[in-house]
């Protein structure tokens, strides 16, 4: 199931009791839909298992009053027929940003509870029909957008904010999922995925970013998404294929209200009184398919195609200082999305190939809610070309993957805050005429022994806006925002069945900028992060110490132009400092 438009900005999916995480690079639009314009990430949780009652309990505690508790229990109700799995988790932390005006010490707080209930049902002994149902509930009072403002003579790593209003973003999220898989014959399989998500967040924050009680803003974001997918799969000696139907209907709502004084573009305080509400319905319907054919034992061709129709209906009402706008618009986008790949197996250990994928994202209308402005934007398209190499040793102990890619981006949708607006709320979308990116990435996994493994990854990425004009300024030639040129990671994991165990990861990410309209002011520093875990395990228990950002590197997650608010420079979100803690894990 795909998450809704806004859910991903707030929900931080848990990896507790996850079986695997799949990262599909490049456009996956032909099979996974337009939401996968530049890739897709799947988190696969452990499913209920028949015939066992195993469980697990995890507890961790660390600095800044950080603690994580997790519990999982599998219950086999009927042998080979019915089982359930219950997963409960809480994540808590005060963080280390302090509001110097209100005295709050938990500005950067994490306060989240998760519950997952899963059921697996197999009514026939031959397992030809398998049904999985799941329910996920998240209740959060976290602040995912905690901001810091540099005090006089300091910087944002003093981790202070002077706001007269404490940020608040409590939300609830519910997801229902029903999956069914029916084996029709040895070669044919029918599957269905039905999903429903409901998300709602209430917002409260300081609109003037100062210690003075000029402007407090309240907001609401809500979304409901219903989806249905049906697939037919065929698997033969030389041919494998799938055909599918997809439908989704999503209702998205956001609204804000605030009154007081707000800095204008000239540094003065102007009266401000706004009420805004935006409602959007997005309906998608698609037919898609994929065919894979083995010309020989070594040569394979795979092609995919999706016919997608997306209809967006928007209603917006705004009252800004007595100026009322009441807008309605709807538009339908029809898209044909192809993909293709050729893979050649040089020998049993080495495969090379080329891939092509097209990605599409529909256009729409963007609203600057505080300033009462709106602007339409068009579809964006990417054509991605990739060359790949896959190698592994005969025993599987060494794996090497290499990808080189080039992406031609047409009418790229670029989000920018308009002059005098509040970042994140007065953002409009502009289509850049031409953009491109290319790069190379490599991964190495090496299992040195039965219990010791290492990994290494490296990425190089070049991006460029070839044609883009924002707010009358030609910014052609600039890189994309939040697009570091280099990234690198190396790590190891030593995990014997019992005794001393250890793991560690070091990662480096190059510098980048946050706002295309102010690249110099909003450039975030590179970051070097080291994390690790060291412990002892025996039979059904383990204890350990853990640490994140062990080098205590100071880095920013994002910076924003503060000149419109009378600030001398940028304000933003500092990364977490070094945090140390202890933990234990119990299994039964």
The string of pLDDT tens digits covering residues 24-46 is 988 999 999 888 888 999 999 99
Dig out the tokens for 358 from the structure: 């097209």
Closest CA to 282 of 327, 249, 247, 330: 249
Asked whether residue 170 carries a pLDDT value surpassing 80, the answer given is yes
Model confidence at 276, pLDDT cuts 50, 70, 90, reads confident
Asked whether residue 374 carries a pLDDT value surpassing 80, the answer given is no
Asked whether residue 9 carries a pLDDT value surpassing 70, the answer given is yes
485 C-beta neighbours (distance < 10 Å), count: 16
Model confidence at 90, pLDDT cuts 50, 70, 90, reads very high
Between 373 and 554, the more confident residue is 554
Q: What is the pLDDT of residue 6?
A: 82
Q: What is the pLDDT of residue 515?
A: 85
573 C-beta neighbours (distance < 10 Å), count: 19
The mean pLDDT of 129-155, rounded to a whole number, is 93
Asked whether residue 369 carries a pLDDT value surpassing 70, the answer given is no
Q: What is the pLDDT of residue 274?
A: 80
The mean pLDDT of 95-104, rounded to a whole number, is 94
Q: Which of 172-181, 515-524, 573-582 has the lowest mean pLDDT?
A: 515-524
How many Å apart are CA 559 and CA 424, to the nearest integer?
A: 12
Q: What is the pLDDT of residue 121?
A: 96
Between 484 and 369, the more confident residue is 484
Q: What is the pLDDT of residue 417?
A: 77
Q: What is the pLDDT of residue 153?
A: 86
Residue 393 is given by DSSP the state -
Percentage of the chain with pLDDT > 90? 70
Asked whether residue 267 carries a pLDDT value surpassing 80, the answer given is no
pLDDT tens digits along 518-574: 888 999 999 999 999 999 999 999 999 999 999 999 999 999 888 777 777 889 999
How many Å apart are CA 275 and CA 372, to the nearest integer?
A: 9
DSSP string, 517-571: TSTTTTEEPPEEEEEEEEEEEETTEEEEEEEESTT----EEEEEE-GGGT-SSEE
Q: What is the pLDDT of residue 319?
A: 82
Q: What is the pLDDT of residue 316?
A: 83
The mean pLDDT of 405-420, rounded to a whole number, is 84
Asked whether residue 265 carries a pLDDT value surpassing 60, the answer given is no
Determine the Cα angle at 482 with ends 578 and 41, to 5°: 80
Question: Where on the phi/psi map is residue 8: left (φ > 0), alpha (ψ -120 to 50), or beta?
Answer: alpha
The mean pLDDT of 398-418, rounded to a whole number, is 90
Q: What is the pLDDT of residue 266?
A: 63
pLDDT tens digits along 197-246: 999 999 998 888 889 888 888 999 999 999 999 999 999 999 999 999 99
Helix, strand or coil, per DSSP, at residue 156: helix
The mean pLDDT of 2-13, rounded to a whole number, is 84
Q: Which of 275-284, 386-395, 464-473, 506-515 has the lowest mean pLDDT?
A: 464-473
Can you give the pTM of this predicted structure? 0.90
Asked whether residue 110 carries a pLDDT value surpassing 90, the answer given is yes
Helix, strand or coil, per DSSP, at residue 479: coil
Straight-line distance from the first to the last Cα atom of the chain, in angstroms, rounded to the nearest whole number: 31
pLDDT tens digits along 11-20: 888 899 999 9
The mean pLDDT of 275-302, rounded to a whole number, is 94
Residue 580 is given by DSSP the state E
């Amino acid at each position: 199931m795909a998450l809704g438009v806004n859910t991903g900005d707030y929900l931080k999916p848990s990896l507790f009791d996850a079986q695997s995480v799949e990262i599909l690079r490049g456009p996956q639009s032909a099979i996974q839909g337009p939401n996968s314009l530049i890739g897709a990430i799947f988190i696969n949780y452990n499913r209920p298992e028949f015939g066992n009652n195993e469980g697990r309990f995890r507890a961790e505690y660390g600095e800044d009053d950080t603690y994580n508790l997790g519990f999982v229990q599998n219950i086999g109700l009927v042998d080979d027929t019915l089982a359930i799995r219950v997963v409960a988790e809480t994540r808590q932390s005060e963080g280390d940003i302090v509001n110097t005006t209100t005295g709050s010490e938990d500005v950067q707080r994490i306060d989240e509870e998760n519950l997952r209930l899963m059921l697996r049902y197999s009514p026939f002994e031959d397992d030809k029909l398998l049904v999985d149902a799941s329910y996920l509930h998240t209740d959060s009072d976290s602040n995912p957008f905690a901001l810091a403002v540099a005090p006089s003579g300091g910087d944002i790593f003093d981790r202070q904010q002077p706001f007269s209003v404490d940020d608040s973003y409590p939300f609830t999220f519910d997801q229902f999922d029903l999956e069914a898989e029916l084996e029709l014959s040895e070669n044919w399989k029918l599957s269905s995925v039905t999903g429903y998500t409901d998300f709602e967040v209430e917002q409260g924050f300081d609109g003037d970013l100062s210690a003075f009680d000029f402007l407090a803003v309240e907001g609401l974001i809500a979304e409901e998404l219903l989806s249905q997918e049906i697939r037919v799969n065929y698997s033969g000696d030389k041919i494998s294929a799938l055909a599918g139907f997809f439908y989704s209907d999503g209702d998205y709502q956001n609204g804000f209200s605030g009154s007081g004084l707000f800095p204008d573009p000239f540094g003065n305080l102007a009266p401000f009184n706004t009420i805004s509400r935006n409602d959007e319905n997005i309906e998608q319907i698609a037919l898609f398919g994929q065919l894979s054919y083995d010309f020989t034992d070594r040569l394979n061709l795979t092609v995919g195609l999706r016919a997608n129709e997306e209809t967006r209906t928007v209603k917006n009402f705004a009252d800004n200082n007595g100026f009322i706008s009441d807008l309605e618009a709807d538009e339908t986008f029809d898209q044909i999305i192809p993909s293709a790949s050729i893979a050649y197996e040089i020998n049993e250990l080495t495969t090379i190939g080329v891939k092509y994928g097209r990605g599409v994202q529909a256009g729409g209308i963007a609203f600057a809610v505080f300033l009462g402005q709106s602007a339409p934007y068009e579809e964006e398209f990417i054509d991605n070309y990739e060359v790949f190499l896959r190698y592994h040793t005969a025993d599987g102990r060494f794996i090497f993957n290499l990808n080189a890619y080039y992406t031609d981006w047409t009418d790229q949708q670029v989000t920018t805050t308009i002059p005098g607006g509040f970042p994140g709320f007065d953002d409009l979308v502009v289509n850049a005429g031409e953009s491109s990116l290319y790069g190379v990435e490599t991964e190495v996994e090496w299992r040195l022994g039965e219990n010791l493994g290492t990994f290494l990854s490296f990425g190089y990425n070049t991006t460029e806006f070839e044609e883009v004009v924002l707010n009358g300024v030609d910014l052609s030639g600039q890189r994309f925002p939040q697009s570091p040129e280099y990234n690198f990671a190396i790590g190891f994991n030593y995990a014997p069945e019992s005794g001393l165990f250890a793991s560690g990861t070091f990662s480096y990410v190059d510098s980048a900028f946050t706002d295309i309209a102010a690249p110099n002011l909003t450039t975030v520093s590179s970051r070097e992060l080291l994390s690790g875990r060291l412990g002892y395990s025996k039979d059904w228990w383990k204890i350990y110490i853990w640490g994140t950002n062990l080098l205590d590197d100071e880095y920013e997650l994002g910076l924003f132009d503060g000149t419109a608010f009378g600030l001398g420079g940028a304000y933003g979100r500092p990364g977490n400092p070094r945090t140390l803690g202890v933990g234990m894990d119990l299994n039964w």
